[in-house]
């Protein structure tokens, strides 16, 4: 069965509405997030679940995927970053800022898929203040700041780029799809998932660079992704639930 999350008011978000259209009336079951989290819905092999990470990750565990991992910055794509990216912890960043008073600005975001806070630039204690309730043990990605002129999402299914969907910045600043295609080939040779999204952009220096890689099983649908969106999610979900990750 196909299970599609609804909002608190029992309506679909645009992603789940597109999936409902794809599956057709009678071929899906709407559900609220708590029904999955409280295991009031029992899932079986072959079931498909769509919704936010707060439901898709518990659903994967219920289907036997206990050690799900995803790398936002695969080593095979490091040459497309045009910036240094490393892993740290919120505790180490706080200690460094407290010791030095301030640090060179760095962009931080949670390493794990269930996001404890929204990515942000930090350099002073004032920048860190809004994260006061977030535990210091939280692992994070750190990256050198760069200026993005434009940003796009490229859905990739079985190694094929299926669009280039603008989501931020100057629409007139187009990415080099030749470079994006090479990213997909390099990632594919390194063992990429069957479906994922390359978030890419144009830097102020003109290079087409990788913003990050997003796994496809719970990714947002930007304008222009409507045609391939169901295939994107279903392909990755089936891959995750039918083989060891």
Residues 139 and 151 in one domain: no
Q: What are phi and psi of 78, to 5 degrees?
A: -60, -30
Model confidence, pTM: 0.92
Chain centroid, CA 75 distance in Å: 17
* 31 assigned to some structural domain: yes
End-to-end CA distance of the chain: 22
Residues 163 and 231 in one domain: yes
Residues 152 and 230 in one domain: yes
Could you tell me the residue range of the domain that residue 28 belongs to? Answer: 2-62
**Please, what is the Cα angle at 59 between 57 and 64, to 5 degrees?**
95
pLDDT above 90 coverage of the chain, percent = 86
The DSSP letter of residue 56 is H
Q: What is the pLDDT of residue 102?
A: 85
| Average pLDDT of the residues in 3-18 | 97
Residues 42 and 111 in one domain: no
Residues 100 and 116 in one domain: yes
Q: What is the pLDDT of residue 245?
A: 42
Residues 178 and 104 in one domain: no
The total of structural domains in the chain comes to 3
The DSSP letter of residue 220 is -
Is residue 229 within 8 Å of 163, Cβ to Cβ? no
pLDDT tens digits for 119-143? 899 999 999 999 888 887 889 999 9
pLDDT tens digits for 168-197? 999 999 999 999 999 999 999 999 999 999
Where among 143, 161, 191 does a domain terminate?
143
pLDDT at 114 over 80: no
């Amino acid at each position: 069965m196909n299970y599609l999350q609804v909002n608190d008011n029992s309506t679909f978000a645009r992603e789940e509405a597109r999936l409902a259209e794809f599956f057709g009336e009678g071929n899906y079951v709407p559900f609220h997030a708590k029904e999955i989290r409280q295991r009031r819905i029992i899932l079986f092999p072959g079931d498909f679940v769509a919704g936010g990470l707060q439901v898709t990750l518990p659903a994967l565990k219920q289907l036997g995927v206990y050690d799900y991992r995803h790398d936002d910055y695969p080593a095979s794509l490091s040459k497309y970053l045009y910036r240094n990216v490393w892993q740290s912890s919120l505790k180490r960043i706080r200690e460094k800022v407290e010791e030095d008073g301030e640090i060179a600005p760095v962009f931080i975001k949670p390493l794990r898929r269930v996001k404890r806070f929204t990515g942000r630039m930090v350099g002073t204690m004032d920048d860190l203040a809004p994260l006061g309730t977030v535990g210091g043990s939280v692992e994070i990605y750190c990256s050198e700041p760069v200026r993005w002129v434009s940003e796009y999402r490229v859905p990739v299914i079985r190694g094929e780029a299926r669009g280039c969907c603008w989501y931020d910045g100057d629409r007139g600043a187009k990415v080099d799809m030749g470079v994006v295609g090479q990213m997909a080939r390099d990632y594919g040779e390194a063992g990429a998932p069957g479906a994922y999204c390359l978030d890419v952009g144009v830097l102020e220096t003109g290079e087409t660079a990788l913003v990050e890689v997003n796994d496809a099983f719970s990714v947002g649908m930007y304008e222009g992704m409507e045609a391939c969106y169901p295939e994107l999610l279903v392909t990755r979900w089936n891959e995750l639930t039918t083989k060891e990750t």
